[in-house]
Amino acid sequence: MYVAVKGGERAINNAHRLLAEKRRGNTETPEIETDQIEQQLSLSVARVMSEGSLFDRDLAALAIKQARGDLIEAIFLIRAYRTTLPRFAFSKPIETGKMDIERRISATFKDLPGGQILGPTFDYTHRLLDFTLMANGQTPPEAAQGDQPVDDTMPRVLDDLLNYEGLIQDEPASADNDDAPVADLTREPVSFPAGRDLRLQNLARGDEGFILSMGYSTQRGYANSHAFVGEIRYGKVAVEIEPEELGFAIDIGDIDITECETVNKFKGSKIKPPQFTRGYGLVFGQSERKAISMALVDRAMRAREMGEQIMGPAQDEEFIMEHSDNVQATGFVEHIKLPHYVDFQGELELVRRMRKEIEARAQSTPETKAAE
């Protein structure tokens, strides 16, 4: 006797209850609060905001908690929430030149107007586990205050310094036209070739690990665009909108961002003197790994524009853009755990039939078999 499996609905509900219990863990341990995540896991929060395309620290912290710390799951939660939000306005382009700087370094000049500001960075920490943190250690001593505030004017290395001599390519249709339409892949289907606006949006939302590996591949010869970090800056910038009925811009709040501009291998031609080229990275919060990788891949994907030969996957915009999104990727990769009984049955039927035919053929020609 056979009784078909039933009760999918009850199984799902029970699975959700068990999941909630597992998320909570041992109840003798105090429940983690979202503001602890927001404050103390701020780099996770930054990643979820960047790849979730939504600047909201509290929601990102909630998503991380709900996702049990699985950042891709948290990004997915944020994306699914974001897509239901109405659009009230489009902001003016942010002005990173007016950033309230916490960190700013250049790898191309030893010193420069505004100086090198080290800021909060893991860069020179020795990667030794700090067991005092495990022992619920002491509050760290307050960081030292500098004698003087950072300069008000912090010129951008590429636009304000290199461009002064005309040594770096102009960005076509960049800052000059604030009102030019900007593509949005969450609102329009992507088609190829894609404009740089669409590519940059895709990279900003792209999986940190994927963009990192693709950026890395450009350094190992799967592209030809050696890069210097012209500048990385991290800090706060104001977001402004200009409501139609007001006719002037109003400040709606600050966001913290990391911006990276790379100076890349020069090019030139008979008519054009040699000039450096550039790559650009911008992410929410502090993530230099992602911002640098993004700038490398951005530059590599400009191969078509620069008339370069495509030598590696990072230069292939269709390959990069179709595979960078971790919410898409994880959904499709994991979907193969869904039932495929019906398709597999089709394969079984065919394989059995083909084997049967081969057997039948072998039996009907015994002489040839014997001769073998």
Partner 1 sequence: MENTQTSQNTETGAAYNFAYLDEQTKRMIRRALLKAVAIPGYQVPFAGREMPMPYGWGTGGVQVTAAVIGPDDTLKVIDQGADDTTNAVSIRQFFAKTAGVATTEKTAEASIIQTRHRIPEKPLRDDQILVYQVPIPEPLRFLEPRETETRKMHALEEYGLMHVKLYEDISRHGHIATTYAYPVMVDGRYVMDPSPTPKFDNPKMNMMPALQLFGAGREKRIYALPPFTRVESLDFEDHPFSVQSWDDECGMCSATDSYLDEVILDDKGNRMFVCSDTDYCTERQDAGHRGPQHHDQPLGGKAAE
Partner 2 sequence: MTAPHTTSGIAPDLLPGFEHDAFQSNAVFRTVLDAMSRPGNIYNLPISIAAPDGLNETATAFALAMIDMDTPVWLSPACISGAAITHLKFHCGCPIVDDAAKADFAFARLDDDLSFLSRLAVGNAEYPDQSATVVFMVDAISDHPDMILTGPGIKETHMLSVAGLPAAFHTWRRENTTLFPCGVDVIFASPHQIAALPRTTRIEVK
Q: Which residues bind partner 2 (CB under 8 A)?
A: 87-90, 181-184, 187, 191, 244-245
Q: Return d(Cα 362, Cα 336) in angstroms, integer.
A: 37
- Nearest distance in Å: CB 270, partner 1: 31
| Residue choice 66, 116, 213, 330 for contact with partner 1 (CB under 8 A) | 330
Closest CB to partner 1 among 266 and 344? 344
| Residue choice 1, 135, 271, 370 for contact with partner 1 (CB under 8 A) | 1
Q: Examine residue 195 and tell whether it contacts partner 1 (CB under 8 A).
A: no
Residue 304 binds which entry of partner 2, partner 1, none, CB below 5-8 Å type-dependent: none
- Nearest distance in Å: CB 319, partner 2: 20
- 3-state class (DSSP) for residue 105: strand
Q: Return d(Cα 29, Cα 164) in angstroms, integer.
A: 59
- Nearest distance in Å: CB 81, partner 1: 8
User: Is the Cβ–Cβ distance between 298 and 321 less than 8 Å?
Assistant: no
Q: Return d(Cα 270, Cα 268) in angstroms, integer.
A: 7
User: Is the Cβ–Cβ distance between 69 and 34 less than 8 Å?
Assistant: no
Closest CB to partner 2 among 182 and 348? 182
- Nearest distance in Å: CB 88, partner 2: 7
- Residue 136 — left, alpha, or beta (φ > 0 → left; ψ -120 to 50 → alpha)? left
Q: Examine residue 244 and tell whether it contacts partner 1 (CB under 8 A).
A: no
Q: Examine residue 357 and tell whether it contacts partner 1 (CB under 8 A).
A: yes
| Residue choice 187, 220, 270, 272 for contact with partner 1 (CB under 8 A) | 187
Strands across the sheet with 227-241, in order? 100-105, 227-241, 250-267, 275-284
Q: Return d(Cα 362, Cα 211) in angstroms, integer.
A: 54
Residue 14 binds which entry of partner 1, partner 2, none, CB below 5-8 Å type-dependent: none
DSSP 91: B
Q: Which of 323, 58, 308, 102 is nearest to 205 (CA)?
A: 323
Q: Examine residue 8 and tell whether it contacts partner 1 (CB under 8 A).
A: yes
Compute how many other C-beta atoms are within 10 angstroms of the C-beta atom of residue 109. 14
- Nearest distance in Å: CB 289, partner 1: 25
Q: Examine residue 25 and tell whether it contacts partner 1 (CB under 8 A).
A: no
Closest CB to partner 1 among 33 and 318? 318
Residue 323 binds which entry of partner 1, partner 2, none, CB below 5-8 Å type-dependent: none
Residue 2 binds which entry of partner 1, partner 2, none, CB below 5-8 Å type-dependent: partner 1
User: Is the Cβ–Cβ distance between 154 and 233 less than 8 Å?
Assistant: yes
Residue 134 binds which entry of partner 2, partner 1, none, CB below 5-8 Å type-dependent: none
- Nearest distance in Å: CB 3, partner 1: 7
Handedness of CA 20, 22, 26, 30 (dihedral sign): negative
